[in-house]
Amino acid sequence: MRSYSIEHASGIDALKIVEQEIPAPGPRQLLVRMKAASINYRDLLVVCGNYSRNQPLPLVPLSDGAGEVVAVGEGVTRWKAGDRVASAFFQDWDAGGIGDGAARSALGGALDGVLAEYVVLGERGVVALPRHLSFEEGATLPCAALTAWHALRSGGLVCGQSVLTMGTGGVSVFALQFARAAGARVIATTGTETKMERLRALGASDAINYKSEPNWESKVFELTGRRGVDQVVEVGGAGTLGKSLKAVRAGGHISLIGVLAGGAGEVNPLPAVMKGVRIQGIFVGSREMFDEMNQAIELNAIRPVIDRIFPFDDAPEAYRHMQSGAHFGKVVISIQGRG
Ligand SMILES: NC(=O)c1ccc[n+]([C@@H]2O[C@H](COP(=O)([O-])OP(=O)(O)OC[C@H]3O[C@@H](n4cnc5c(N)ncnc54)[C@H](OP(=O)(O)O)[C@@H]3O)[C@@H](O)[C@H]2O)c1
C-alpha cells in the first residue's frame, strides 16, 4: 500500500510517497481503508519542523481521516467490516477533561497519522461518521470541527447569544456553522474581501475585513450595542487577544485556540480581570465530544464546507494551497485505497 512519509521536517517538499506492507490489526484494533484525509494548520507546522522540538520522524502525516473498516483484531466488539468511521485526533482521550497522556496519542504528531491507504487504529480511536456525509466531508471533522464544537460548548453557548469568529479557515467556518445551528448571532472577520459574501451566505450577520478595518474590535463592540460579544473563538493568538478582550462582553468567554496572528507576544491581562472574562484553552476534544458533535451534525443536516479536494498523488499541492491562505473552510485529500 502507499503512504506519505515525512523523513526530515524541512518543508512541504519533504512529503514523499513510500510503499509499505498493509498493517495487520492487533487485539482491540481496526484496519481502516482510508478514503479521505484533511489538512489542518498544525500539519503545515509539522512538515516545516515548527510544531514540536521532539517530533518523532519518520512520520505518516495528518490526524484527520475517514474510511471504511476492513478487518478487526481480537476482542473488538464495537466495530465490524464495512463500518464508516473517522479517526479521533487523540487516540487516548475518551471523555472528561484532557489528561496528561492525550498529547502523546495525537495522530500525525506523536503517532503516525492517516495519509495512507490503510491505517491501523485503536477501537477507541474512531467514531462513526454522520450518515449523510461523504468520506471527504467526514474527513474534515476530527480536528477543526471538534475544536470549534468544544470551544462553543465550553463557553456554554445558548440560543440568542453572539459569537465572534476570525478568518475563514477550518475552525472558524465550523464555529460559524455550529453557532448558527444553535441559534446564535455570528460576527465574522476575514482579511479577504471576496470571502465576506460567503460568510454572510453561511449566516454571519456581519462580516468585517480585519485588514481594511484594523480597529475591527471597536466595530464588533458597536455592532453589539456597545455590550460586546458573549463568546470569542480566538484563533489569532497573541496578535489578536488584546482585541478580543475589547470585543468580548463583561463576563463573556474567550476560547484560546490558535496562533494565526502570532503565537508569542505581550498581552495586557487587565481587561480580562476588570471585565471578569473567562479564558479557556481548547485542545481539540475527546471522543465523547466527537460523538456528541456528530449527533448534532446529523440532526441539523450540517455539511462541512470543503474548499477543494486534491488527489492522493497531489497531497503536496494541497498543503501549498492551505499554506497560501486562499481557502475557505477545509482542504481535503482523496485517498483511493487499492485492492
Ligand atoms: N487548539 C487546538 O486544538 C487547535 C485545533 C485546530 C486549530 N488550531 C489552531 O487554530 C488556528 C486555525 O486553524 P485552522 O486549521 O482553522 O487554520 P486555517 O484553515 O489554515 O485558517 C487559515 C485562515 O485564517 C485566516 N487568518 C490568517 N491570518 C489571520 C489573522 N492574522 N487574523 C485572523 N485570521 C487570519 C485566513 O482567513 P481569511 O482569508 O478569511 O482572513 C486564513 O485563510 C491555527 O493557529 C491552528 O494551529 C488549534
Can you name the CATH fold of 146-281?
A: Rossmann fold (3.40.50)
pTM of the predicted structure, to 2 decimals:
0.98
Residue nearest atom 36 in ligand 1 by C-alpha distance: 167
Q: Which residues of the chain does CATH 3.90.180.10 include?
A: 2-140+304-334
Ligand 1 atom with the shortest distance to the CA of 261: 31
* 8 Å CB contact between 280 and 255: yes
pLDDT at residue 339 greater than cutoff 50 = no
CATH 3.40.50.720 residue ranges of the chain are: 146-281
- Residues with Cβ within 6 A of ligand 1? 40-42, 143-144, 147, 166-172, 190-192, 195, 210, 235-236, 239-240, 257-261, 282-284, 322, 325, 327
At residue 54, the pLDDT reads 87
Residue-wise pLDDT tens digits, 280-308: 999 999 999 999 999 999 999 999 999 99
Of all protein residues, the one whose alpha carbon is nearest to atom 23 of ligand 1 is 169
Q: How far is the CA of 188 from the centre of ligand 1 (A)?
A: 13
- Report the nearest atom of ligand 1 relative to the CA of 285: 3
pLDDT for res 262: 82
pLDDT in tens, 152-171: 999 999 999 999 999 999 99
Q: Which CATH class is domain 2-140+304-334?
A: alpha beta
Residue 278, pLDDT above cutoff 80: yes
Name which of 64-68, 83-87, 198-202, 333-337 the model is least confident about: 333-337
Element (H, E) at 176: helix 170-181
Band the pLDDT of 338: cuts 50, 70, 90.
very low
Residues 173/328, Cβ–Cβ less than 8 Å: yes
**Mean pLDDT to the nearest integer, 42-49:** 97
Window from 49-53, 139-143, 154-158, 256-260 with minimum mean pLDDT: 49-53
Q: Which pLDDT score is estimated for 337?
A: 53
